[in-house]
A and B are shown apart, each in its own frame.
Chain A
Amino acid sequence: MSMRIHRGWGRYFNFSTVGSFIIALFVIVPLYWMVASSFKTQSNVSASPAQLFPVPVSTSSYTAAFNDGFAHFILNSVIVAVCTTTLVLFLGTLAGYALGRMPMRGKYPIMVTLLMISVFPTIAVVPALYVVMRTIGWLNTYQALIFPYTAFNLPFAIWILRNYFLGISRSMEESARIDGAGALRTLVQVIVPQVTPGIFTAGVFTFTACWTEFLMALSFDFGKKTIPVGIASFGAQFTVPYGAYFAASVLSVIPVAALVLIFRKAVVSGLTAGAVKG
């Protein structure tokens, strides 16, 4: 009985459409606020009551962000993210292949350990890494972030890639071997092309993680700021330059949002296949 009534109501109001509209608002409203505020004039950013629309439209916040060194932050982030992603994909493909396809004893405990490392709190490695990096003079260098980021993103990349390696058929790799191709050549020419979706997934996740990471960047690279550290350090002691924050935010959201939207299928499959990355 009650179900019929619900269905009638559902037809009237179209439950899922209204619900989706509410979900969209939930996501969009704060984002709109960020974009709108980035186009307000310096004085209108802190107007009370708040301005709902940026009138007049101003790009002064964008100028302010670049005056605060935003171009350097982008460069630093790009260098760190690109180097890390390249390393992770290279090492992760080799390891994922080995752990997925090779008859190694002990790969099972290794996978369990990797899975646990992927939920490990970053703060646990900060004290020791800081001591080591300060001693060997690595603070404020790119490698101070590239190495830890590689290590922290490898478990998830190996995980994703291994699942793809497990899923492909053995016959092609066997016939390549029969034709006399070595193991490495078989991997590069026959196997890797079949796991490209997995490589995209691992790549997008690694890039996004590097782009957003804050704690290690704050601890090890305060001199070579990446975007999160740069944005957090905008402004002087008592002024909070929200306009510049949001201009920088809009600009730094665009590349990753574009990447994530282009590879949407890969990202969703990564989120659901592993479900291990938060």
Chain B
Amino acid sequence: MASTELAPGKVVAPPSRGAPPKILPDLIQRRYARLGWGFAAPALVVIGIVTIAPIVFAIFMSFEHVNVTSSGFSFTGATFSNYHLMVTSGLWQHALWWTVVYTIVTVVVELVIGTIFALVLENLTGGRGLMMALLLIPWSLITVISAELWSYIYNASFGVLDSIWPNALGTPLSATLALMVADVWKTTPFVTIIVLAGLVMIPRELFEASEVDGASSWDIFWRVTLPLLRPTIGLAVLFRALQAFGIFDLPYVLTSGGPGTSTQSLAILAYNTMFTDINFGPGAAVAVSAALLVVMMCLVFLRAFRQQVGKEEVPA
């Protein structure tokens, strides 16, 4: 084969002799590029088939009359009625607002508590490894299990919290707060670990210098620590918020979206429309609306995504 002539070993010229002939590296570059595409192709194809193609197909479904048949589905004609139904239904509007508010509140609360926890752990001299191990347990817990656990804790007849917080799941506001507490318990440890990693990377000298200059701990936190943490935290918060937007497991199990439909997230609304009401057109429309909002947020924060990719890029 001709390409063996171009094996890289034969063209690696000692640097002292100057640049190697231009044409050969170019061919090798191209050969490696092709090889690279070959290596990456299986993964990219799987990702494309299971994530990107279904979203495109869901967009198509959301503009069709979808009927469930005994063996599969039939699509009978284009329509805007799914979106019309969705936009005019109070359920969608409520689910949208609920999801947005829930996401913002939980992410902010988790960030504040997580930062406080990280500051505490950063000063801990011994046993930090043990604390990290402990923090990883809620993170690795199945969300359904955590939801069952909190539903037991909140239970109106024998829940251990019922004497302090009676009927926690009984009203829309209280149920939302109860969900937030469960969410904060499970996710704050994750935020703590991220913030702690950011804290540890700040050079000690900066704190010492500020102390020598007579800054109070409060000043140091607001003027040194926080600004330096901002890039780490900002990115973690962005990702966390975008993922939290798809929330399904916790309210589905803990409140079943109730009382009534008051704690229904967009994902639960889409799921129930498809699998409880057997109404796949409008269900696809709701799912597409959730996806589009996430895509829009991604595009708004495109710079952050690109920085994240670029910052580890080491020039070859």
The interface of chain A, by Cβ under 8 A from chain B, is: 2-3, 6, 15-17, 19-20, 23-24, 26-28, 30-31, 33-34, 37, 46-50, 91-92, 94-95, 97-99, 101-105, 107-108, 110-112, 114-132, 134-135, 147-148, 150-152, 154-155, 158, 163, 166-167, 170, 174, 177-180, 183, 187, 208, 211-212, 214-215, 218-219, 227-229, 231-232, 240, 242, 245-246, 249, 252-253, 256-257, 259-261, 264, 267-268, 271-272, 275-278
Contacts and interface: CB of A to CB of B under 8 A. Distances in A.
Best-surrounded residue of A37, A272, A278 (most CB of chain B within 10 A)? A278
Interface string B55-85: 1011001000010000111000000000000
Contacts of B274: 126-127, 130
B189 A27 contact: yes
Chain B binding surface SS class:
helix
Nearest to B216: A3
Nearest to A121: B246
B114 to A, nearest CB: 10
Contacts of B136: 257, 260-261, 264, 267-268
Given A16-B120, A95-B43, 14 more contacts: A20-B121, A49-B163, A95-B42, A95-B44, A99-B36, A103-B29, A110-B44, A112-B309, A128-B58, A154-B43, A167-B314, A177-B9, A260-B136, A264-B129
A102 B36 contact: yes
B299 to A, nearest CB: 9
Number of chain B interface residues as a range = 35 or more
Contacts of B243: 119, 278
Contacts of A155: 47
Given A98-B37, A115-B305, A127-B274, A27 B134 contact: yes
B46 A150 contact: yes
Nearest to A242: B152
Contacts of B54: 124-125, 127-129, 132
A147 B155 CA distance: 38
Interface stretch (B16-24, B141-149, B169-177): B141-149
A120 B12 CA distance: 44
Nearest to A205: B140
Interface of B: 7-9, 12, 29, 32-33, 35-40, 42-44, 46-47, 49-55, 57-58, 61, 66, 71-73, 117, 120-121, 123-125, 127, 129, 131-146, 148-153, 155, 157-160, 163, 185, 187-190, 192-194, 197-198, 211, 216-218, 232, 235-236, 239-240, 242-246, 248-249, 252-253, 266-267, 270-271, 274-275, 280, 283-284, 287-288, 290-291, 294-295, 298, 302, 305-306, 308-310, 312-314, 316
Contacts of B240: 278
A181 B227 CA distance: 49
A26 B291 contact: no
Contacts of A50: 158-160
A135 B192 CA distance: 45
Contacts of B42: 91, 94-95
A6 B217 contact: yes
A239 B184 CA distance: 28
Contacts of A135: 71-73
